[in-house]
Structure 1
Amino acid sequence: MNYLALDASTEACSVALQVNGKSFSRYELCPQSHSLQLLPMIDAVLNEAQIKLVDLDGLIFGQGPGSFTGVRIGVGVAQGLAFSANLPVVGVSSLQAMAQMAYIKNGQTQVIAAIDARMAEVYNAYFVLDQDNIMQAQQAEAVTQPDLLAQHLEGVVSTPFYAVGTGWDAYAEKLSGILSSLRVNEASPDILFPSAEAMLVIGQNKFAQGQGVSAENAQPVYVRDTVSWKKLPGK
């Protein structure tokens, strides 16, 4: 089966393509320029693989959480491409993709993913490898204040875990003592952003389980549904 995966949910922009057992990918850190980079990256991997969009079996997209604008760009591009080629789609969590990459790169099977969500919060979830070698969330993805993360994960995490995501560096002081006795990698995480390569693995599994939907049903997952603005002093 031939699939294309794309993601624009964070500062990283990436695409990955699997065609006849071969993989092609692009990855770039390009904050605030995803709308300019994503389509050319998709064209590049399709041309490299010498395949057309209509020859694919499905499309996989990063559904969030992450940047509101980035998530919307990714979902919008996915819908447009899927409509044009009449392809089914599946969404993949950006947090799950980072956890999956920790398994792919480092063989880690228990991971806490935490992305800086701004507004002094982190998007987070705890993942454990399942029987299909896919990292699965052990509770609903959430947005949490860093100093409350340990409380949020209490009773869920009881064994050594691997940390991934920008949240661990962005709120290093507040997170330094959280579950420190269980954290495997004390230094800055080597996986800071999600990648389409990991989404490709997860998405294929979802398609195999019959979770593909039509383009019109491609939905973002913001986790934080609203943004509240605090009035600055003197304003």
Structure 2
Amino acid sequence: MKLLAIETATEACSVAVAVDGEVVERFEIAPRRHAELVLPWADALLAETGLRRRDLDAIAVGRGPGAFTGVRLAISLAQGIALALDRPVVAVSTLATLAMRAPAPAAGPVLAAIDARMGEVYVAAFARDGEGLPQALGPERLGAPGSVPLEDLPWAAAVGSGLAAGEGALAARLRAVAFDPTAMPHAADLARLAAAAWARGEALAPERVEPAYLRDKVALTQAEQRARRG
């Protein structure tokens, strides 16, 4: 199958094209430049693989959780392209995509964590299936690094910017073999997860795709900020 994948839920901007299991990607840490980069990158990757937009079978998108603006941008672009081409969308958890960055030797549960700002982190637990793809072991959660609920698991690895949030409070609660607080979600991993989801029949009509914000409020009042600082 042929997929275009878009992941912009964090500071990283990433676009990939997958053609029958072969994936090409562009990735850059580019805060506030996602809207500028995504479509030119998509066109360049399609040209590199010899595809036209109408050759695509589906559009894959990182549905969050992550930065509100980045999640909204990715969903909007994916829906717009899919509607124009009359193609479905495959929405994938950004935390699941991040979990793909866990060190390969890790043979146990993986925690994916994204710094949600405002003194909180997004987290979710995953185990690898027989094909090495992460499968959720619990719900996606939002909370303070020192108190967000965690499954009682023999963690093998933990990845993502949430490990460094709150002076590393989340990492201090884990007994994981491997930590990588610099890991970011990549569209190449999103494309692989989306291809598996497509095979399971999980593609959606563009208008049915919903973002996963987890947080209702995207800003705190000054009083709330003072309360969080203690």
Q: Given the two structures, how large is their TM-score scaled by the length of structure 2? A: 0.90
Determine helix, strand or coil for the equivalent of 1:148: coil
In the TM superposition, what whole-angstrom CA distance separates every residue of 1:113-167 from its partner, at most 9, and x where no partner exists? 1111011000001111123432012111010111103xx11xx232132111101
Q: Is 1:116 the counterpart of 2:115 in the alignment?
A: yes
Whole-angstrom CA distance in 2 between matches of 1:48 and 1:228: 41
Q: Give the 3 Å change call, closer, same or farther, for CA 126–54 of structure 1 in structure 2.
A: same
Structure 2 partner of 1:189:
181
Q: Give the 3 Å change call, closer, same or farther, for CA 100–87 of structure 1 in structure 2.
A: same
Determine helix, strand or coil for the equivalent of 2:90: strand
Determine helix, strand or coil for the equivalent of 2:24: strand
Whole-angstrom CA distance in 2 between matches of 1:133 and 1:23: 17
Q: Tell me which amino acid in the other structure corresponds to 2:95.
A: L
Structure 2 partner of 1:230:
221
Structure 1 partner of 2:198:
207
Whole-angstrom CA distance in 1 between matches of 2:197 and 2:21: 18
Q: Is 1:41 the counterpart of 2:41 in the alignment?
A: yes
Deviates more, 1:123-132 or 1:69-78: 123-132
Whole-angstrom CA distance in 2 between matches of 1:114 and 1:217: 26
Which residues in structure 2 correspond to 1:1-235 (within 5 Å)?
A: 1-102=1-102, 106-109=104-107, 110-149=109-148, 152-153=149-150, 156-179=151-174, 182-186=175-179, 188-191=180-183, 193-227=184-218, 229-232=220-223
Whole-angstrom CA distance in 2 between matches of 1:6 and 1:207: 16
Structure 2: give runs of 5+ residues left out of the alignment: none
Q: Conserved in 1, the CA contact under 8 Å of 2:7 and 2:187?
A: yes
Structure 1: give runs of 5+ residues left out of the alignment: none
Q: Conserved in 1, the CA contact under 8 Å of 2:119 and 2:144?
A: yes
Q: Conserved in 1, the CA contact under 8 Å of 2:62 and 2:92?
A: yes
Q: Give the 3 Å change call, closer, same or farther, for CA 125–20 of structure 1 in structure 2.
A: closer
Residue correspondences, number: 223
Cα offset, 1:175, TM superposition? 2.8
Identity %: 38
Whole-angstrom CA distance in 2 between matches of 1:174 and 1:134: 27
Cα offset, 1:24, TM superposition? 1.5
Whole-angstrom CA distance in 2 between matches of 1:140 and 1:173: 22
Q: Given the two structures, how large is their TM-score scaled by the length of structure 1? A: 0.89
Q: Tell me which amino acid in the other structure corresponds to 1:92.
A: V
Q: Conserved in 2, the CA contact under 8 Å of 1:126 and 1:157?
A: no
Cα offset, 1:21, TM superposition? 4.2
Whole-angstrom CA distance in 1 between matches of 2:29 and 2:171: 26
